[in-house]
Amino acid sequence: MIVRGSICSGAPVEENMRAAREEHADMIVMGTHGRSGLEHVLIGSVAEQVLRRATCPVLTVRHGEARA
């Protein structure tokens, strides 16, 4: 298994899609704030857009979740 991380600048959804495509990613793992309701509607969700557009599985980890 090879795990790669990267830091990019630009539009978050587009950069995630570009990186996954260029790396031939088997999976995308990304954090999420877990917003809901009006805050989600007004701000939107990068994680949700990535989930909808990705051609590979996406694992999201909610910010602040307790660790075992």
pLDDT value at position 61?
86
Q: Which two tokens stand for residue 9?
A: 């600048």
pLDDT value at position 41?
58
pLDDT value at position 39?
63
**Rounded to whole angstroms, what are the CA distances from 4 to 1, 27, 28, 40?**
10, 11, 10, 29
Angle, CA of 60, 23 and 29, to the nearest 5°: 10
pLDDT value at position 8?
83
Axis crossing angle, helix 46-53 with helix 12-23, rounded to the nearest 10: 40
**Which parts of the chain sit beneath pLDDT 50?**
none
Q: Where are the domains of the chain?
A: 29-68
